[in-house]
Structure formats: C-alpha cells, structure tokens
Amino acid sequence: MIERILPPAAVVAESFTDPAGLTLFPEEEKLVANAVDKRRREFTTVRHCARRALGELGIAPVPIVSGERGAPIWPAEVVGSMTHCDGYRAAVLGRVTQFATLGVDAEPHAPLPEGVLDAIALPAERTRIAALTAADPATCWDRLLFSAKESVYKAWFPLTARWLDFAEADIVIDAAGTFVARLLVPGPVLGGAPVTSFHGRFLVDRGLVVTAISIPAVAG
C-alpha cells in the first residue's frame, strides 16, 4: 500500500498481521526483553519487514537496533524508515546512492484524542485543518497532520541527529494527496544547499492514514 506514495526506487515491505514464528537477533531481543506483548509484536514484525526489504536490495539479514533517540541503525549502504500502528507495520528502504533520507508514518484513520491537535499544531495549521474538515468531514485531517509531522521527524533526524519540535515545521496539506513541511529552524545542508522544506505524500485507505517523505540523494 505505502509504495503508492513513494518513488519506485524505494523498497517497501509491509504487513497487516503479526505472522507467527518470526525471530529476532540476540541484539534485538535485548531491546524488547522487558517489553509488553504488543510492543514485542510490532518490533518483531517490522524488523521482519525490514529484512525482507534488505533482501530485495541484495543485502543479507542483519540486526536492526535502535540508535540515538530511537532511530534505527541501517547498514551503511541504505537509508530507511519504519512505522507500526494497530493492524499495520511497514519498513521502507532505499540505497544511499538514490535517497538522502526517507520518513514514513502510519496512524489509525480516526480523530486525534481531545487536546492533541492543540498540542501539536501551529495556529495556522489548525486554521487550515478546520478548512479541510469543513470541505471533507469524512477525512481525519487532524490525524493526517500528526502523521505528516511524524514522517517529517523521521526523515529529518537521520540528516541532523537533532530533535525537531512539532512547532518547528509548518505543514500545508493539499487534499489531492501531498503536503509541504516548511522548516521554521535551520535545516540540514544537502549538496551545499540548505534544506528549507520537506515534500511528502499521503493516502487514506484500509482504515489507515499513511504519510511518506523521500529526499533524493544529491549527486557527487
């Protein structure tokens, strides 16, 4: 499903269930030794997805542990991003020769809990969400904004190794299926030019909101 909002060079592996019998590497086992069952299942299935994607890229299965601030550590030749929510797990990978970064997020297609939009959205974003909701009340635009922000953070972090607050990107959603996140803080520099915005795509399907950002590698 998520491949619909990513360039063809991105390798996608996703799952709508937690298949029985999946195993982890010992390094990964350590990370979920004390985790509740739900966390263990999502962690295991998404790593299985990631190894499928690595396999498609011709890369042998390796442990995928969490590094700084929870970011996954990938083999040197790839960038990637993972997401999991109820009923969905996905790993998206690409070669460093093709992508500078990837960021993906999935959420249940349901309104955000009371108070969350106020906590994560800028005033201008709230105004735009209200307008989108008035035009299309069947879509949970507040949840979509949240997911877009999570994708922005997951794409941002591997480039910067820095925190990005919810108020530090101003996201404009185009109901046709895209969004632009304007960075309100200095962004990473790619190929000598500062990155000032991230462009993403979204889809709403199968009871899920899914967002994705991919930034191409800079030649040279």
Ligand X SMILES: CC(C)(COP(=O)(O)OP(=O)(O)OC[C@H]1O[C@@H](n2cnc3c(N)ncnc32)[C@H](O)[C@@H]1OP(=O)(O)O)[C@@H](O)C(=O)NCCC(=O)NCCS
Nearer to ligand X, 53 or 82 (CB): 82
Closest distance between ligand X and the C-beta of residue 134, in Å? Answer: 24
Distance from the first to the final alpha carbon of the chain: 32
- Dump the DSSP string for 88-143: EEEEEEEETTTEEEEEEEEEESSPPPTTHHHHH--HHHHHHHHHHHHH-TTS-HHH
- C-alpha distances in angstroms, 198 versus 29, 63, 153, 195? 34, 29, 10, 8
Closest distance between ligand X and the C-beta of residue 37, in Å? Answer: 14
Closest distance between ligand X and the C-beta of residue 65, in Å? Answer: 8
Nearer to ligand X, 7 or 168 (CB): 168
Burial class from Cβ neighbours inside 10 Å (0-12, 13-18, 19+) for residue 196 reads exposed
Nearer to ligand X, 122 or 175 (CB): 122
Percent of the chain as helix, strand, coil, to the nearest 5: 35, 30, 35
Nearer to ligand X, 60 or 72 (CB): 72
- Residues in contact with ligand X by CB under 6 A are 43, 46, 66, 69-72, 82-85, 105, 149-150, 152-154, 157, 164, 166, 169
Q: What is the DSSP letter of 60?
A: -
Helix ranges restricted to H, the chain: 26-31, 37-56, 116-120, 123-135, 141-160
Closest distance between ligand X and the C-beta of residue 73, in Å? Answer: 10
Closest distance between ligand X and the C-beta of residue 220, in Å? Answer: 26
Q: What is the DSSP letter of 161?
A: -
Closest distance between ligand X and the C-beta of residue 91, in Å? Answer: 8
Asked if 209 and 142 touch (Cβ cutoff 8 Å), the reply is no
Nearer to ligand X, 112 or 220 (CB): 112
Nearer to ligand X, 175 or 184 (CB): 184
